[in-house]
Homo-oligomer: A and B are copies of this chain.
């Protein structure tokens, strides 16, 4: 997303102070940055009282400032907020409820505070359990920002020499096959790349600690990965002694509509799962879920402790999120609204040549823009223009993919048909403008 260094309008003074304090490199959305002061459900409000439809933010999973989550936080913060070196029922009750949403044999949990911490811990766990150093990741992935997790985030290190212990493999994207791979054997070719990565790690004496996959491949632009690819890739890694770590920080907690966890779309249960962003509706909490025979020895050897992790307030917030998901039937709503939105976007594809592909599941949808449907040339500049034009129409969306040409629609789950209609109408206009030569 472009950052803007020229202060605009009423936000100028605040922007200058921010730049002096946080630096001009601190990411900020939009050519004209938004100054947001209030949130409610799927709506955000700026300092002038203008209302924006939030079709981007996945962290406020059950809606901005959901009163049940707010109340849970306020009540527990007033009662007790301490660490896990004392017994507390809240962490046990929430943890048991959380673990019950996973498939056997995933039955234990370690709490952390951020998705980065969860992924970092998963890497430590995999290296400890296997005694190997090497990891395989997809080739435009993002898993977080600690030193170790940055090393396995190929999107972050795309322009840098990558650690020799990290090998990347292409994702079988049928719309935009990796260079040199195409046709009916796309998945086969990508599976062979996994085998080659395994062989190379062995040849270098590193061994295979695991494969780390975002189960919706959000960094790669939400490609429609052929059935069986993940299962075959995982089979190769497991045969080499490595683990399958599923990063559910983005797809998890029912966003997919059909499944509560993204890994279920791929037909193979992970050894380790990492959670984050939506877990506490914005309250910092994350987790690693794993098989008992992995976590018990690791815990006994390392005694991992994270001061803020699993504290009573964060568990109360996370528990309220599960309550609201159930009470408001939000997973089903994600499926229904997502299907409705996909239909509407397919209609826009008929009307706008800029739209090359529409895909996604539930309320995680990608709209890939191309300047030529024949060559599928990425329409990067047009995507940026559409996103900024949507912001001017007070609808918030983002982008993803290595070419930054995939519009990312990923709203809070209370997003309903009426909101989808607003989004579609605005997008129709903005696509039309972007197609008109200046």
Contacts and interface: CB of A to CB of B under 8 A. Distances in A.
Interface of A: 1, 3, 11, 14-15, 17-18, 20-29, 33-39, 44, 57, 59-60, 64-65, 67, 69-70, 73-74, 77-89, 91-92, 95-96, 99, 108-110, 113-117, 120-121, 123-124, 145-148, 150, 276-277, 281-284, 295-296, 298-309, 311, 313-314
B146 A27 contact: no
A110 to B, nearest CB: 7
B300 A24 contact: yes
17 contacts: A14-B92, A18-B87, A21-B92, A22-B91, A23-B108, A23-B299, A27-B85, A28-B85, A35-B86, A36-B87, A37-B79, A44-B86, A60-B81, A114-B114, A124-B147, A145-B305, A147-B147
Contacts of A300: 23-25
Looking at A34, A92, A308, A314, the one whose CB has the most chain B CB atoms below 10 A away is A308
Contacts of A67: 78
A284 B113 contact: yes
Contacts of A89: 14, 35, 37
Nearest to A300: B25
Residue in A14, A15, A82 with the greatest tally of chain B CB atoms within 10 Å: A82
Contacts of A307: 59, 114-115, 276-277
Given A80-B36, A147-B146, A308-B282, A296 B23 contact: yes
B282 A81 contact: yes
A84 B300 CA distance: 38
Given A65-B81, A73-B73, A282-B81, A99 B308 contact: no
A24 B27 CA distance: 41
A409 to B, nearest CB: 17
Contacts of A81: 39, 60, 64-65, 281-283
Given A22-B110, A27-B303, A65 B38 contact: no
Given A145-B306, A146-B117, A29 B85 contact: yes
Contacts of A114: 113-114, 117, 306-309
Nearest to A45: B80
A115 B23 CA distance: 21
A311 B282 contact: yes
Contact of A109 (B21, B284, B308): B21
A134 B82 CA distance: 35
